């Protein structure tokens, strides 16, 4: 059997980081999977790039390598995050063979004691699912922000989960002993970025036309330009035509290179002019980002630091992390950008619709994740049992009907 294995993410394209770091722990697991697959006599292709400078390159490199080599099955190893617990394995929606691989792998890992979140068809159009030419699965081994999951991983050891994945892929037991469990770090690991091209921090990188910049640098630029130039362009963190033209005017007025790039000279000159005006700027966040942060807090989605989001209107790593978690729960594209699909899904939850047996949709997905049952978007018997348990724990009538009282407990 010819098997392609990819370790998710890269040092320069980080995944999640909480109690443990995804890239560091994932690399241990994927190496163990390869070891046991080879022990069983299989041919293994390592589809993990040594390093890449973007998430897109990271994904395409692994997929292209697997496709070019014509492997029999592609397995991508990841850790989950977002406040849940347990193991889930994703597979390409209409592939019976991929489903079989996912079901076996999930069962093997769950056999170690992890909560069963089941094998799930990919409904989000994930790149590795859409663009591989063979059976493909994505293994979300456990939740790296769950103390319970990390403790269990610490107990069973890397090789136990590596062997479980390998046995699930090949469909039979593999000989060889697992190495005794080695405790993994329970402190967040510092992220060390080793890019393959010279790296410039976002605060120092020139802001270019047509870009939305993380870290609010563009928003700062727009607000300072408005103040200095007496303008009123939209301060929305997007550097479009209005921002570009205003920047060119500013550069010409203050004898700077009129190149439309907002580098350190531009910011230094802006600050100098603002100081000479004997005034200050009260920076305000983006209203849309502020509204999103408030909604994510109501729904209980936390930042990568495990804390409630700061409601300041400034989009940073924590807001992006919470948005991605929300998107994963709603089973929409996990890009961290709150587009129409994400916002409409959030609003459908906050509408607090009445849910019962047979109900379907995004509010049901949210409910299922909150009460800890299988999330498939359909309110079935298992969901009803979990809702009743949740209701009783929260001093409510255990009738399995999700009305305003139950929603109040879910969103408190």
DSSP string, 90-157: EE-TT-HHHHHHHHHHHHHHHTTT--EEEEEE--S--HHHHS-SSEEEEEEEEETT-HHHHHHHHHH-
Candidate from 32-36, 78-82, 378-382 with smallest mean pLDDT = 78-82
pLDDT at 312 over 60: yes
2-170 CATH: 3.40.630.40
Assigned token pair, 112 = 């170690």
Instruction: Domain 352-412: give its CATH code.
Output: 1.10.101.10
Residues forming a β-bridge with 212: 238
Angstrom distance (rounded) from CA 208 to CA 259? 10
pLDDT value of residue 141:
95
Per-residue model confidence (pLDDT) at position 28: 92
Give the pLDDT confidence of 18-65 residue by residue, as tens digits. 888 888 899 999 999 999 999 988 899 999 887 666 666 777 888 889
From the list 92, 72, 88, the residue with the least C-alpha distance to 80 is 88
The band of 127, judged by pLDDT with boundaries at 50, 70 and 90, is confident
Q: What is the pLDDT of residues 387-402, one digit of tens each?
A: 999 999 999 999 999 9
- Residues 171-217 have pLDDT tens digits of 999 875 543 343 444 444 332 322 222 223 333 455 665 544 434 66
What pLDDT was estimated at residue 128?
86
Average pLDDT, the chain: 83
Res 111: pLDDT: 95
- Dist. CA 22–CA 326, nearest whole Å: 19
pLDDT at residue number 102: 94
pTM score, two decimals?
0.48
Q: What CATH number belongs to 211-276?
A: 1.10.101
pLDDT tens digits for range 335-348 = 888 888 889 999 99
Quickly state the pLDDT bin for 349 (edges 50, 70, 90).
very high
Q: Please say whether the beta carbons of 106 and 46 come within 8 A.
A: no
Picking from 361, 408, 411, 367, the residue whose alpha carbon sits closest to that of residue 386 is: 367
Q: What is the average pLDDT across 7-15?
A: 75
Beta strand 73-80 with 135-143 is parallel
Q: Is the pLDDT of residue 8 over 90?
A: no
**Domain locations along the chain:** 2-170, 211-276, 352-412
- State pLDDT tens for residues 128-169: 888 888 999 999 999 998 899 999 999 999 999 999 999 999
pLDDT at res. 351:
93
- d(CA 332, CA 311) in angstroms, rounded, equals 24
pLDDT at 306 over 70: yes
Residues 92 and 298: their CA atoms lie apart, in Å, by 33
- pLDDT at 214 (0 to 100): 38
Between 219 and 104, the more confident residue is 104
Q: Is the pLDDT of residue 224 over 80?
A: yes
Of 60-64, 77-81, 345-349, 373-377, the one with minimum mean pLDDT is 60-64
Domains 2-170 and 211-276 alike in fold: no
pLDDT for 376: 92
Backbone angles phi, psi at 239, to 5 degrees: -90, 85
């Amino acid at each position: 059997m010819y098997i392609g294995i990819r370790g998710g993410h890269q040092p320069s394209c980080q995944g999640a980081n909480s109690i443990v770091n995804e890239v560091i722990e994932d690399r241990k697991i994927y190496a163990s999977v390869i070891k046991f697959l080879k022990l069983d006599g299989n041919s293994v292709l390592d589809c993990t790039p040594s390093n890449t400078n973007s998430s897109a390159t990271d994904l395409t490199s692994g997929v292209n390598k697997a496709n070019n080599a014509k492997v029999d099955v592609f397995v991508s190893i990841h850790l989950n995050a977002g406040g849940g617990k347990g193991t889930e394995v994703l597979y390409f929606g209409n592939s019976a063979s991929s489903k079989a691989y996912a079901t076996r792998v999930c069962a093997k890992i769950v056999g170690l004691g992890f909560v069963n979140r089941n094998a799930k068809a990919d409904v989000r159009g994930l790149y590795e699912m859409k663009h591989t030419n063979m059976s493909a699965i994505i293994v979300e081994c456990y939740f790296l922000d769950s103390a319970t999951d990390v403790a269990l991983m610490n107990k069973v050891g890397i090789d136990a989960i590596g062997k479980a994945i390998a046995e699930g892929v090949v469909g039979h037991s593999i000989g060889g002993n697992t190495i005794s469990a080695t405790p993994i770090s329970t402190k967040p690991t510092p992220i060390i970025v080793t890019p393959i091209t010279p790296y410039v921090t976002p605060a120092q990188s020139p802001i270019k036309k047509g870009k939305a910049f993380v870290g609010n640098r563009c928003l700062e630029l727009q607000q300072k330009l408005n103040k200095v130039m007496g303008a009123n362009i939209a301060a929305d963190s997007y550097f479009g035509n209005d921002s570009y033209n205003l920047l060119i005017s500013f550069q010409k007025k203050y004898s700077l290179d009129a190149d439309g790039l907002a580098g350190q000279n531009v910011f230094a000159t802006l600050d100098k002019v603002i100081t000479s005006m004997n005034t200050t700027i009260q920076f305000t966040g983006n209203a849309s980002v502020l509204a999103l942060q408030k909604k994510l807090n109501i729904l209980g989605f936390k930042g990568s630091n495990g804390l409630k989001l700061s409601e300041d209107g400034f989009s940073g790593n924590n807001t992006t992390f919470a948005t991605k978690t929300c998107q994963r729960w709603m089973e929409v594209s996990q890009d961290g950008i709150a587009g129409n699909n994400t916002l409409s899904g959030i609003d459908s939850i906050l509408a607090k619709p009445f849910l019962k047996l047979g109900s379907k949709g995004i509010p049901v997905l949210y409910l299922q994740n909150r009460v800890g049952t299988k999330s498939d978007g359909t309110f079935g018997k298992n969901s009803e049992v979990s809702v009743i348990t949740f209701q009783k724990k929260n001093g409510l009538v255990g009738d399995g009907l999700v009305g305003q009282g139950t929603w109040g407990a879910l969103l408190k």
